[in-house]
Amino acid sequence: MTRNTFDVVVIGAGPVGENVADRVAQGGLTVAIVERELVGGECSYWACMPTKALLRDTAALRAVHSLPGARAAVTGEPDVAATLARRDAFASHWHDDGQVTWLNQAGISLFRGVGRLSGPRTVEVTDTDGDRITLDARQAVVVATGSGALLPQIPGLAESAPWTSRDAAAAASIPARLAIIGGGVVGAEMATAFAALGSQVTMVARDGLLPAVEPFASDLVAEALKARGVALHLLTEPESVHRDESGTVRLALADGSTVEADDVLVATGRTPGTGDLGLEHVGLTPGAWLHVDESLRVVGPDGTPGDNAWLYAAGDVNRRALLTHQGKYQARALGDAIAARANGTPVDTTPWGRHAATADERAVPQVIFTDPEIASVGHTAASAEAAGLRIRAVEYDLGAVAGAALHADGYTGRAGMVVDEDRKVLVGFTMAGPDVAELLHAATIAITAEVPVDRLWHAVPAYPTISEIWLRLLEAYGRED
Ligand SMILES: Cc1cc2nc3c(=O)[nH]c(=O)nc-3n(C[C@H](O)[C@H](O)[C@H](O)COP(=O)(O)OP(=O)(O)OC[C@H]3O[C@@H](n4cnc5c(N)ncnc54)[C@H](O)[C@@H]3O)c2cc1C
Ligand SMILES: NC(=O)c1ccc[n+]([C@@H]2O[C@H](COP(=O)([O-])OP(=O)(O)OC[C@H]3O[C@@H](n4cnc5c(N)ncnc54)[C@H](O)[C@@H]3O)[C@@H](O)[C@H]2O)c1
């Protein structure tokens, strides 16, 4: 069998694996990346990019409709085919040539096939013809194999040709009736998209709609979905699913009701991409999420890397934060850590150090592209209390800010901040309202930099912008004498 040796071998060429490879190459190391499907991963072809493209046209249309002068100029119906065509372009028509060109330019060697650990520092790659090649890593192997859709064990579901997020993101047409199981981020975004594109959507959300965000934010999204005709079945779940000969899918719910649809989207969370990775050859458990230390080295049950100090994991597969930007942040930290260890330069894994992914625990930003959008970073009031922090949370009506009133007639939104009372710094910030996504980064900086609340009074928001919400929240919090 052919053998090749590199300093670093990365398994999985999603956004995270690509960034790891780039970082170690920039650190002067040789690097191979193994990909079994498309270079660019889930995010590029079946997740972030196509789903946001599905949402964008109708979001722009809603913005126009909130302004009478602009509304008068828009008279036709939405062109769904054009939306789907633009989505196809954003998914690069499911071809990865562009990303492969980038890998070549960055000096990264691509091996197509399934990568499996076959022993310490060794990865075996099997291509579609069954041919195998062995890659030896002098310094490190990085697992960046992402996650896949979780299919719950509901009787009849697997036999009912359910959609996963991949099918929704790449849908060639819009079903007349779509049932969605799961009220998390995927469920909420796809309910927003498909309802706007013409589906009659029904959601079944066992733990409520968007249970991980501030309740004021999920309430606003629930109200908006209902106003657009989405039927919400909250705090119940399907007991069985059946697709009959005519193609209709029927979901029998635990609360006794029945949902009928033409397609059913399962959006009930993710499973780690570790089932067929050869983890058993390095003493780890196949199919499990990988646990990591501060510099993203995989740790065993005793919490240390042990004999596997050469093995790292980044992105969805370590379950720290299932978001592209957070995985890429991990990639920068661990890529630099691998290069530093190889070059014998210091590795700084202290909190906020160059080689520690501290923000994963303290300041994860997320935008949920529902309508209204939810933009949040750090803790909610509930998660801060659960973490044992002594906090005070304040909220304010976003629609009462002059910039928001100007932005759209009838602007409806709300914002809240969570202050750590012992340190007098922000630990959480959430906004729910039209077009709040681009406002989020100020809050991310305030939390990451641990700017004292006293100093935030000197960060003056321009008038009349929606950012004046910062002033209103500070006023609601109060100023110490
Ligand atoms: C519908 C949807 C929408 C989303 N929208 C957003 C969003 O708007 N913003 C955001 O930040 N996040 C979003 N996410 C999350 C985001 O997609 C993931 O966090 C991100 O893709 C994780 O990147 P990754 O590189 O860790 O994994 P992936 O993107 O899953 O890439 C892993 C790669 O590894 C390959 N691979 C796996 N096993 C092997 C193997 N054994 N050998 C070789 N190759 C292998 C896979 O083929 C894949 O290409 C969304 C997720 C979903 C499902
Ligand atoms: N804009 C974004 O940033 C974005 C967009 C989409 C996805 N993502 C990421 O993708 C990940 C996966 O998203 P997701 O929505 O699949 O998972 P999730 O964990 O966010 O939500 C899954 C939901 O399904 C519900 N559920 C589970 N089993 C159920 C059942 N049998 N019946 C009814 N409801 C059930 C759960 O209560 C949960 O709320 C998220 O962690 C998110 O970070 C991010």
Q: What is the pLDDT of residues 138-164, one digit of tens each?
A: 999 999 999 999 999 999 999 999 999
- Interior/surface letters 305-322, b for 16+ CB within 10 angstroms, e for the rest: beebebbbbbbbbbbbbb
How many other CB atoms are there within 10 angstroms of residue 331's CB atom? 28
Which ligand places an atom closest to the C-alpha of 276? 1
The reply to whether ligand 2 has any atom less than 6 angstroms from the CB of 313 is: no
Average pLDDT of span 84-94: 98
Residues in the chain: 481
Residue 331 lies in a domain: yes
The reply to whether ligand 2 has any atom less than 6 angstroms from the CB of 182 is: yes
pLDDT, mean over the chain: 97
Claim to verify: residue 121 and residue 30 sit in the same structural domain: yes
Average pLDDT of span 112-118: 98
H/E stretch holding 438 reads none
Residue 96's pLDDT is: 98
Final residue before a domain boundary, out of 213, 241, 268: 268
Residue 2's pLDDT is: 87
Claim to verify: residue 144 and residue 279 sit in the same structural domain: yes
Residue 139 lies in a domain: yes
Residue 85 lies in a domain: no
Average pLDDT of span 381-399: 98
Q: How far is the CA of 254 from the centre of ligand 1 (A)?
A: 32
Q: What is the DSSP letter of 446?
A: H
Q: How far is the CA of 429 from the centre of ligand 2 (A)?
A: 21
Which ligand places an atom closest to the C-alpha of 277? 1
Claim to verify: residue 109 and residue 238 sit in the same structural domain: no
Q: Name the band, by pLDDT with cuts 50, 70 and 90, for residue 429.
A: very high
Residue 88 lies in a domain: no
Claim to verify: residue 261 and residue 281 sit in the same structural domain: no
SS3 266: strand
Contacts of 336 (CB under 8 A, 6+ apart): 23, 27, 354, 355
Average pLDDT of span 87-104: 98
Give pTM, 2 decimals.
0.97
Is the model's pLDDT at 91 over the cut of 80?
Answer: yes
Residue 100's pLDDT is: 98
Final residue before a domain boundary, out of 246, 268, 290: 268
Is the model's pLDDT at 386 over the cut of 80?
Answer: yes
Atom 21 (ligand 2): residue with closest C-alpha? 184
Claim to verify: residue 166 and residue 224 sit in the same structural domain: yes
Average pLDDT of span 366-374: 98
Residue 397 lies in a domain: yes
Residue 480's pLDDT is: 77
Residue 80's pLDDT is: 98
Claim to verify: residue 393 and residue 376 sit in the same structural domain: yes
Claim to verify: residue 138 and residue 278 sit in the same structural domain: yes
Final residue before a domain boundary, out of 209, 241, 268: 268
**Interval 248-275: pLDDT, tens:** 999 999 999 999 999 999 999 999 999 9
**ipTM greater than 0.95:** yes
Claim to verify: residue 112 and residue 187 sit in the same structural domain: no
| CA proximity to 12, closest of 213, 235, 207, 273 | 273
Q: How far is the CA of 48 from the centre of ligand 1 (A)?
A: 9
Domain of 468: which CATH number?
A: 3.30.390.30
Residue 67's pLDDT is: 97
Average pLDDT of span 314-324: 98
The reply to whether ligand 2 has any atom less than 6 angstroms from the CB of 374 is: no
Q: How far is the CA of 187 from the centre of ligand 2 (A)?
A: 7
Residue 132 lies in a domain: yes
Residue 230's pLDDT is: 98
For residue 322, give its domain range. 2-40+96-148+271-359
Q: How far is the CA of 209 from the centre of ligand 2 (A)?
A: 10
Residue 413 lies in a domain: yes
Residue 210's pLDDT is: 98
The token pair at 167 is 């099918």
Ligand 2 atom with the smallest distance to the CA of 165 is 16
Residue 3's pLDDT is: 87
Claim to verify: residue 262 and residue 342 sit in the same structural domain: no
Claim to verify: residue 280 and residue 245 sit in the same structural domain: no
Residue 237's pLDDT is: 98
Average pLDDT of span 320-326: 98
Atom 9 (ligand 2): residue with closest C-alpha? 322
Claim to verify: residue 329 and residue 457 sit in the same structural domain: no
Average pLDDT of span 63-70: 96
Claim to verify: residue 144 and residue 171 sit in the same structural domain: no
Query: From start to end of 82-159, where are the E strands?
Result: 109-112, 114-119, 122-126, 132-143, 147-149
**Total domains, the chain:** 3
Atom 25 (ligand 2): residue with closest C-alpha? 182
**Interval 184-221: pLDDT, tens:** 999 999 999 999 999 999 999 999 999 999 999 999 99
